[in-house]
Structures are given as C-alpha cells and as structure tokens.
Amino acid sequence: MRDELRARRDAFLHKIKSRPIFMGILNLTPDSFSDGGRFQTIDAAVAHAKVMIDEGCDIVDVGGESTRPTAIAVPETEELARVEPVLTALTRVLEVPLSIDTYKAAVAARAVEIGAAVINDVWGLQKDPKMAGVVAETEAAVVITHNRAERDATVDIFADMRRFFDRSLALAAAAGIRNEAIILDPGLGFGKTSLQNVEAVMRIPDLKNYGFPILVGVSRKAFLGSLTGDGIEGTLIGTVAANLMAAVAGASIFRVHDVAEHVAALRVFHALHRSVAPSTGASSTSRSSLCGPSGRNFTS
C-alpha cells in the first residue's frame, strides 16, 4: 500500500474511535435496488461522490455488483470494467478514503492498487478463498460482513452470526490481518428475516464484545418497510430511525445513501441526549446509554 493510502487508512481507523463515521454509497450498477443505473458514467459518479463529501461523508464505498438478494452475479471482468475508471477518477480529485464493495479477491486487489484503503466484503472473507490473503498483502482495512445463502426463520441468528464471525476472524488471523484493521458488520438484509434483522440490531452490544468497530448498512432496505406493515422498500425516515437505534446499541459506522440527513439526525440526537437535565429524573446511566456504550460524541 502506498504511503498516502496508508495515511488515509490510519486516519479513517482513528476517526472511528472518536465519532460516528458516515460511509457514502456509490453504486456503479444498473440493477441495485435503490439507485441502480444513476451513477454509471464517470462524471455522474464523481459528481455524486463530491456531493456526499460536502454533506459530511467520511468515506466513499464504491460497488460494481449489486448485492440485492435476486441480483445476477457479475463476472470479474465486468465488475472491474465498472469500478476501475471510476476509482481512478476519484483518487485524482478526492481527499477522503475510498472503499471497494466486493467479495472477489482480484477486484479488491486491483481496487487497492488504484487507491482504495478499505475492502468491504459482504461475505466476510468466506466467499473467495483468496480474499483474506489479499487483505493482508495490500494492508487494507476490511469490513467483515455476516451473510447467509438463504433465509431461515428457524435459525438462531445471533448464534449463526457468532459462528460466522469466529470463522472469518480465524481466516483473518491465519492470513496475518491486523486486528486494528478489522470492522464487523452484522449484515442487515443479508439472508435474514425481518425479525432476525431486528435481533441483529439489538445484539450489536454483544457483537462489540469482539472488540471491533461495528458498521451497519440498513439504508433503504426492504425489511424496514415490512416492520411498519406497508410492505414497501424502506424509506428515508425508516432508515434514519434504524440507524439511530444502531447508534444507541453502539454502532460506529453508518453506510448510507442519504448522507446529509443522517449527519443532521445524529447531531440532533446527541444534542438532545446531552442536554437532558438531572431535574427530568433521568439517571446518568440512562443518559450515557442513550449516547451509546462509549458515550461517543456525535458532533465532533
């Protein structure tokens, strides 16, 4: 990894310890469930990335293959053809770090070579047997996401998550990936029923026992709509509500489409909780828990 990329990686990882991080989604796909086809040209992709950064985005997550449940798999060559020119353009004009949303080792390696500092693997190092080695060799930070091939309402989802993460972390250790470079993602919307997604959010405090930062990606996902009974894709309001709950539970990184709204919501959220006076009867413990397990400052 080049020195300037290493510096961006380290600054990103350090920032996670002090305040919430907003990961802006940049899909270069024609079939993503929410914004497919909108940013396939280089100019459109770069312009959207700049907008997200102006709104408060800390890192731009670039993806060349849709991860929605019914998406058709994209060949490695096609995925590379989508992400290479955009990543090249972004590295020339952006100062924030980039991440690559892929489960293919070759795509991840090329992305870091171009300028990505983080590899966001929705299969947690377990889909491509070469991925752990690529993460270690490139020295990129990595997001390890829990995933399942299919939904099963009878599964104890938290136990399944623990087994999955235990295996992923064993692969990471064997490859020589540093603990400081690892981020865990409970994989909301990946192989889970609506109730299992809810449980995954509520069990974030237990996942934090691993000692790694937690990323959540609930943005506009369909299960949010199912929770309210309207049966439609998750709305912005539903996404913000879910991310606020994840913040209470201790999540540190929020992967979102709507950056400005989430930055504003978390600022207000923290300001209100910080201003709770002792006269209201709220204990210091309850005020602390509302700000997250670490009492994280959402405005710094």
b or e along 110-142 (b: 16 or more beta carbons within 10 Å of the residue's beta carbon)?
Answer: bbbebbbbbbbbbbbbbebeebbbbbbbbbbbb
130 falls within a domain: yes
| Cβ proximity of 219 and 255 under 8 Å | yes
Cβ neighbours around 268 below 10 Å, total: 13
Range of the domain at 91: 3-290
Is 296 within a domain? no
**Is residue 279 situated within a structural domain?**
yes
pLDDT tens-place string over residues 236-292: 888 898 999 999 999 999 999 999 999 999 888 777 766 764 544 444 433 333 443
53 occurs within a structural domain: yes
Q: Which of 8, 208, 255, 296 is catalytic?
A: 255
- Binning pLDDT at 50, 70 and 90, where does residue 54 land? very high
Check if the beta carbon of residue 147 is closer than 8 Å to that of residue 165.
Answer: no
Lowest average pLDDT, out of 12-26, 142-156, 246-260, 278-292, goes to: 278-292
Q: Is residue 300 part of a domain?
A: no
Confirm whether 221 is a catalytic residue: yes
8 included as an active-site residue: no
111: domain CATH number is 3.20.20.20
Residue 174 to residues 105, 106, 117, 171, 178, Cα–Cα distance (Å): 16, 19, 21, 5, 10
Among residues 192, 220, 221, 296, the one annotated as catalytic is 221
Exposed, middle or buried by CB within 10 Å (0-12, 13-18, 19+), for 300?
exposed
Residue 228 — very low, low, confident or very high, per pLDDT cuts 50/70/90?
A: low
- pLDDT over 50 (residue 222): yes
Residue 46 within any structural domain of the chain: yes
Query: Is the pLDDT assigned to residue 220 strictly greater than 60?
Result: yes
The 10s digit of each residue's pLDDT in 175-211 is 999 999 999 999 999 999 999 999 999 999 999 999 9
Indicate the pLDDT class of residue 231, thresholds 50, 70 and 90: low
Q: What is the pTM of this model?
A: 0.87
Instruction: Report the number of distinct structural domains present in the chain.
Output: 1
HSE value, Cβ hemisphere, 13 Å, CA-based, for 11: 12
Q: Is 297 among the domain residues?
A: no
Name the percent of the chain lying above pLDDT 90. Answer: 70
Q: How many other CB atoms are found less than 10 A from the CB of residue 156?
A: 11
Asked if the structure places residue 166 within a domain, the reply is yes
